[in-house]
């Protein structure tokens, strides 16, 4: 089922600015045991993104009610929310009076291999970079061509996920995930002030780390830093955590802390079991 502005529908007017300019944002939320996981964090990020783009943010109670309706009795899947600036207006100039478009839909759960969580994955490194654009940094907006091109690079087809570098060649994130390393008892993840998406699971991990006895550090990570780390892993709402056991043909250390973290995320209802 898909709801557009509260009504069942599966099509959007061509004049919606979400299509014309990618003028909007989205959330991808795991549904497990019939519940949208970590839903408040997604709603908060959505509202923050709307505020930064000058899009009228829908009320949370409305999104909660519509999410329940869309999820219905489905035990497991993915709830996708898309908010666009709304219909029309001539040219790029955003009309501050536009009513935002609100789309909620339920998709099947992805068929990721359970082994990815347990044994880790081999990640590629994309040629396509994530470039610095501070106005858009952190926001899960609809301008995703760099990620599409990165994921489509011929060299990346063998990998479950691939790393993207920033303009300076630092490892910033996966195409669909945030990046972490563990070094002794310090958890590191790159800053997102210039580029990247501020993941809800990334946030949860940073909040959870002190309770697990780990310091946290927001710091740029070179590929060499990844090679030298005790553990390297990727996170998002659907995968939970995937340890990296190699980057291309370079074998990485694998430890047990990523697994500990994943268990905590599952137990706290942040990611699906």
Q: Does 67 bind a second copy (CB under 8 A)?
A: no
End-to-end CA distance of the chain: 24
* 130 vs 127: CA distance, rounded Å: 10
169 counts as binding a second copy under rule CB under 8 A: no
The residue range among 100-108, 115-123, 185-193, 242-250 that interacts with a second copy, by the rule CB under 8 A, is 100-108
Question: How far is it, in rounded angstroms, from Cα 87 to Cα 25?
Answer: 15
Residue 17 binds to a second copy (criterion: CB under 8 A): yes
Please identify, using beta-carbon distances, which residue of 10 and 207 lies nearer to a second copy: 10
Q: How many residues contact a second copy, by CB under 8 A?
A: 53
Site for a second copy (CB under 8 A): which residue of 5, 22, 56, 269? Answer: 22
- Toward a second copy, which CB reaches closer, 60 or 141? 141
- What minimum distance in Å lies between the beta carbon of 25 and a second copy? 9
Q: Report in angstroms how near the CB of residue 224 gets to a second copy at its nearest.
A: 24
Binding of a second copy by 183 (CB under 8 A): no
Written as six digits, the tokens of 26 are: 């989205």
**167-174, long-range: CB within 8 Å, 24+ apart, which pairs?**
167/129, 167/131, 167/132, 167/195, 168/220, 169/222, 169/223, 170/220, 170/221, 170/222, 171/125, 171/221, 171/222, 171/223, 171/225, 171/226, 172/130, 172/196, 173/130, 173/197, 174/123, 174/234, 174/236
R_g over Cα of the chain:
19
Smallest distance, a second copy to C-beta of residue 99, A: 16
Residue 21 in contact with a second copy, rule: CB under 8 A? yes
Q: Is 128 in the site for a second copy (CB under 8 A)?
A: yes
The verdict on 2 binding a second copy (CB under 8 A) reads yes
Closest to a second copy by CB, 144 or 183: 144
Residue 176 to residue 273: CA distance in whole angstroms: 19
Is residue 97 part of the contact set for a second copy (CB under 8 A)? Answer: no
Q: How many residues does the chain have?
A: 273
173 lines the binding site for a second copy (CB under 8 A): no
Q: Give me the residues that bind a second copy (CB under 8 A), please.
A: 2, 4, 10-23, 26, 53-54, 82, 84-85, 90-94, 103, 105, 107, 110, 128-129, 131-133, 135-136, 141-152, 167, 175-176
């Amino acid at each position: 089922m898909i709801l557009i502005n509260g009504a069942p529908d599966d099509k959007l007017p061509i004049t919606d600015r979400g299509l014309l300019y990618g003028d909007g944002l989205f959330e991808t939320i795991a549904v497990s045991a019939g519940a949208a996981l970590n839903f408040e964090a997604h709603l908060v990020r959505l509202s923050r993104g709307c505020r930064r783009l000058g899009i009228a943010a829908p009320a949370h109670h409305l999104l909660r009610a519509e999410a329940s309706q869309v999820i219905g009795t489905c035990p497991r899947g993915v709830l996708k929310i898309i908010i666009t600036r709304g219909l029309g207006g001539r040219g790029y100039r955003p009309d501050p009076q536009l009513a935002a478009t609100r789309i909620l839909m339920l998709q099947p759960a992805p068929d990721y291999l359970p082994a990815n969580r347990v044994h880790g994955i081999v990640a590629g490194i994309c040629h396509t970079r994530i470039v610095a654009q501070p106005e858009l940094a952190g926001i899960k907006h609809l301008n995703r061509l760099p990620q599409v091109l990165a994921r489509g690079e011929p060299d990346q087809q063998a990998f479950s996920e691939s790393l993207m570098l920033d303009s300076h060649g630092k490892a910033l994130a996966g195409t669909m995930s945030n990046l972490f390393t563990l070094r002794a008892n310090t958890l590191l993840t790159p800053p997102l002030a210039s580029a990247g998406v501020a993941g809800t699971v990334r946030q949860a991990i940073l909040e959870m780390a002190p309770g697990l006895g780990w310091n946290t550090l927001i710091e740029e990570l070179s590929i060499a830093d990844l090679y030298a780390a005790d553990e390297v892993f990727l996170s998002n709402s659907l995968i939970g955590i995937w340890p990296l056991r190699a980057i291309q043909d370079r074998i990485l250390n694998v430890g047990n802390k990523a697994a500990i973290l994943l268990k905590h995320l599952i137990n706290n209802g942040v990611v699906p079991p």
